[in-house]
Structure 1
Amino acid sequence: MGRIFGTNGVRATINDDLTVDMVLNLSRAIGTVLNGTIAISRDSRMGGEMFSRAVVSGLLSTGCSVIDLGPMPTPGLQFMVPRLGCIAGVMVTASHNPPSFNGLKVMGANGIEITRETEGLIEDVFFEKSFTIAKWHDIGSVQSYETAISDYIEGIKKHVDVPAIQERKLTVVVDGANSVGSLVTPILMRELGCKVISLNSQLDGHFPGRMPEPLPKNLLDLSSVVRSVGADVGIAHDGDADRATFVDKDGTVLWGDQSFALIAVRVLNKKNGSTLITPVSSGRLVEDIADAADARILWTEVGSVVVSHKLLETGAELGGEENGGVFYPPHLCARDGAMTAAQIVEIMAIENKPLSELVRGLPTYFSTKIKVPVPADKKSLLLEPILEITSDLDRITIDGVKLMYDDGWVLMRPSGTEPLWRVFAEAKTQKEADELVEKGKSIIEEAINKI
């Protein structure tokens, strides 16, 4: 990570670590480095309009022009950037973070988040304050683009079998998390012939309906509504709608890798020798699906930006994360919650099966995640002793250390923002997953004592 940019953009608490002055200067740095016409958008978070105006001012001052798309999902902005011929895009969002956060995501001319190298150049300009200052006659202009959401919806529909979904007449409950997913997914589902019930659909940066992270504990209302109305499926987005989490007709929340696996089965089997890009945090379920389709997996570090760039580099057929983020390159080499939702209802329609039955056809695994606090001064030093401790074990060391066993695995990797290491484990039983996560914790504690 950089000095300002984290694993996916800049995020901090509003009017505390993230101030108008900071956003203004960061936007001046973005305009200085990228220099051209830049599209902007935002989600529903508090401070979104305030920071958006600071972004516009900073970009204009460097001679950049701005196309303001208004509020829409991050993948909507990413979809529109190349289609509008923009040099870049800036999204004001903090994705799934708590309500007190906001931030910026920056994407290049292809709609994909900028490289770490470009982030470094922007940080250099920011700290050196070496901003481009346009002459009075070279100051940029601002224009609005009113049809971005409809263009984006039409782009998604091109990649699914619309008549098949329309014929099925599914009932769908959409939980937009009081944010911009509500501007897209309910409309998309209606145009796909679904009966739609909207939940938490009013835009409100306080997130009164639920927290923006679509975790099972935050989706109790969605599960209840799905059961009560007899809906076929529930769809929940995070704050900027680049992910979708699903609830079956019984109110059960699917794990992200389950929905990812359902899509992977369909996509990977369309072409012999397909390639799947996924982080080391993904589990055995994805490996099983890839093996069955005779597809290869390319593992990456954890982070959606890494997956996007690896998709561009390799031309792979699909990317995905265990948190439910799905990357479908024919549409966009970035995760997209609305596209994922359309693919899931398409699978339900074509297979003519409820979501619960589709999931029952997948291999079953159990997982556990914990956080292990570490002294801040030792956090970055732990990898070397962990590598020493695990030197005789089957492992992957792309991002942290992932130990591979016959019936499961355990991943140990440092947090990008906190003084702790995260431990993920997966196995064929919950007991085995719990034991593996404790093994990972013990290895970290042993490593701490070696420093």
Structure 2
Amino acid sequence: MAKFFGTNGIRGVFSEDFTLEFVHDMTLAIATYFKRGPILIGYDGRESSPIISKVVCSALNYAGLDCNVAGLVPTPCLEYAVKSLGYSGGIMITASHNPPQYNGIKPAAKDGVEISREDELIIEDIFLKKNWIKNPPKWGITGKEDKAIDVYINGIISQIDSKKIKSKNLKVVLDLGNGAQAVTAPLFCKSIGCEIFLINEKIDGLFSGRGSEPTPQNLSELSKIVLQNKADLGIAFDGDGDRSIFCDDKGEILTGDKSALVLTKFILKNNPNSLVVTCLNSGSSIERVANEFNSKVIRTKVGSVEVSRKMVPTNALIGFEENGGFMFGKHNQVRDGCMTLALMLELLANSEKSLSEIILDLPPSFTTKDKISCSYDNSQKLIKFLKDEFPNSDTTDGIKISSDSKNWVMIRPSGTEPIIRIYGEAESQQKLDTLMSKYIQKAKSVISDNTFKTNPKHDWNGE
């Protein structure tokens, strides 16, 4: 079990458990894993990101590796540039959707995809043993990379019918969440002739507009602007721009599952006999959509690393998470908010229906999620309690308690925050509300019961 890497990279509260000393030494371990440069460095808009970038670069140089800095870019931009520009690897400085006081680092391999779980353990072993490169033949140097944004946007455009999209004069509302897609998504939309309306477009490391994570609760402004301007759709990005949540033309906020179903159906229509990869906590409707086009679904543990690294060897066309992370294999096997937007625009350009009408053609789906603040010890206490109560459940990742494929609840510790996440699906909204209420109450009861003891563990390695 990883000690420092969580569900998605290494994260912590800056200057507390995520100190500059820790970043320096962990970067030495990453440099030793990479063996050679050049390494591409990018960062999000958090206030601590520029200084962390300097420490990362100096540590790479101290280990003898050259590096170039792309500056403030979305995570998928950094990853795509690593692959397209021939870097030996990349390091993205971001804490994604975590609150402003957090930051983190996420290594990408030379193929532009997050490193595997096995490679994360290799890096941790180097770090813990301090077995990193010492006294290299020469120091590395740090330069700039000015092509990353152009390469990224051009790469997205190469995957879509941009002329068809331009001909439709689509109206798009972009809620940039004060995050990193502010430097790329507006440029992309303008390049393909969309009329755009911007919300929270100013880079702000405190995410003062609506927070770093787009949720149905904080996207009311997006809905309002879509309706006011009679836009074809709206989209909200997270802090580092790899996830996206959509709003249809009626102002309805779509779950990540629902938008993934819409896109999967559109893509598979022209690419039957394909492979789709998604996590255990995604809804069951994806199997029905895949079956329509003679395609197969593979399930993984929760986390973009799990999905991405399953997509690479299987050559999967599509990957997604229920949280709005969508992956298009022909572009790059990573979550990419702007590529996802491009696919949705292409879908609308090729349809006589509006997005809200297209959604009506989907299989009925009732899914939701919630979260409870919870220490590591209490999360383990809860999982153990549920495993004892439901011994025949799926314990691949936390615990998934099912009566059948359409009625289930899944509970797992987060890999990036001290919380428990609770996911559910049911045949109707009423059943779903009842199911979620039951297990939220049960979880809170078990967590607050001090008579239930577990083995002590003092480090949090959760999402």
Under TM normalisation by the shorter chain, which class is it?
over 0.9
Q: CA deviation at 1:416?
A: 3.0
Range moving further from structure 2, 424-433 or 85-94? 424-433
| Structure 2: distance between partners of 1:318 and 1:133 | 42
Is 1:305 aligned with 2:309?
Answer: no
Q: CA deviation at 1:326?
A: 0.7
Contact between 1:404 and 1:410, CA under 8 Å: does it hold in 2?
no
| Structure 1: distance between partners of 2:81 and 2:375 | 44
The residue aligned with 2:230 is 230
Deviations 1:392-449 (A, max 9, x none): 5xx5443233214264222232333566643211113222012223454577668986
| Structure 1: distance between partners of 2:289 and 2:245 | 20
Deviations 1:95-151 (A, max 9, x none): 11111111111111111111222222222232333332334x610112212121011
Q: CA deviation at 1:390?
A: 3.0
Q: CA deviation at 1:34?
A: 1.2
Deviations 1:276-335 (A, max 9, x none): 100010002322212322322111000000000000121112111111111111100111
Q: CA deviation at 1:166?
A: 0.6
SS at match of 1:347: helix
1:47/1:420 CA distance change after superposition, 3 Å? closer
Alignment of 1:27-426 (within 5 A): 27-36=27-36, 37-135=38-136, 138-371=138-371, 376-377=376-377, 379-380=379-380, 383=383, 386-391=386-391, 396-402=394-400, 403-405=402-404, 407-416=406-415, 421-426=420-425
SS at match of 1:269: helix
| Structure 1: distance between partners of 2:112 and 2:34 | 13
The residue aligned with 2:460 is none
1:98/1:289 CA distance change after superposition, 3 Å? same
| Structure 2: distance between partners of 1:7 and 1:45 | 20
| Structure 1: distance between partners of 2:257 and 2:374 | 29
The residue aligned with 2:458 is none
1:52/1:373 CA distance change after superposition, 3 Å? closer
1:250/1:373 CA distance change after superposition, 3 Å? closer
Paired AA for residue 86 in structure 1 = Y
Paired AA for residue 434 in structure 1 = D
| Structure 1: distance between partners of 2:172 and 2:442 | 45
Root-mean-square deviation over aligned CA pairs: 2.3
Contact between 1:246 and 1:259, CA under 8 Å: does it hold in 2?
yes
Paired AA for residue 142 in structure 2 = V
Q: CA deviation at 1:450?
A: 10
1:99/1:406 CA distance change after superposition, 3 Å? closer
Give the structure-2-normalised TM-score.
Answer: 0.90
Q: CA deviation at 1:87?
A: 1.5
Contact between 1:173 and 1:231, CA under 8 Å: does it hold in 2?
yes
1:237/1:373 CA distance change after superposition, 3 Å? closer
| Structure 1: distance between partners of 2:203 and 2:109 | 27
Paired AA for residue 428 in structure 2 = T
| Structure 2: distance between partners of 1:139 and 1:48 | 24
| Structure 1: distance between partners of 2:81 and 2:377 | 43
Paired residues in the alignment total 448
Contact between 2:84 and 2:151, CA under 8 Å: does it hold in 1?
no
Contact between 1:92 and 1:102, CA under 8 Å: does it hold in 2?
yes
SS at match of 1:335: coil
Q: CA deviation at 1:378?
A: 5.9
SS at match of 2:202: coil
Contact between 1:235 and 1:246, CA under 8 Å: does it hold in 2?
yes
Q: CA deviation at 1:26?
A: 1.4
SS at match of 1:332: coil
Range moving further from structure 2, 368-377 or 81-90? 368-377
| Structure 2: distance between partners of 1:432 and 1:183 | 42
SS at match of 2:69: strand
The residue aligned with 1:427 is 426
| Structure 2: distance between partners of 1:146 and 1:413 | 41
SS at match of 2:282: coil
Range moving further from structure 2, 408-417 or 311-320? 408-417
Contact between 2:382 and 2:446, CA under 8 Å: does it hold in 1?
no
| Structure 2: distance between partners of 1:166 and 1:200 | 25
Contact between 2:11 and 2:416, CA under 8 Å: does it hold in 1?
no
Alignment of 1:19-30 (within 5 A): 19-30=19-30
The residue aligned with 1:2 is 2
Q: CA deviation at 1:157?
A: 0.7
Paired AA for residue 65 in structure 1 = D
| Structure 1: distance between partners of 2:374 and 2:405 | 29
Paired AA for residue 215 in structure 1 = T
Q: CA deviation at 1:159?
A: 0.8
Q: CA deviation at 1:164?
A: 0.9
1:366/1:213 CA distance change after superposition, 3 Å? same
Give the structure-1-normalised TM-score.
Answer: 0.93
The alignment-based identity, stated in percent, is: 37
| Structure 2: distance between partners of 1:369 and 1:177 | 21
| Structure 2: distance between partners of 1:227 and 1:291 | 35
| Structure 1: distance between partners of 2:24 and 2:453 | 45
1:15/1:443 CA distance change after superposition, 3 Å? closer
Is 1:13 aligned with 2:23?
Answer: no
SS at match of 1:201: coil
Paired AA for residue 425 in structure 1 = G
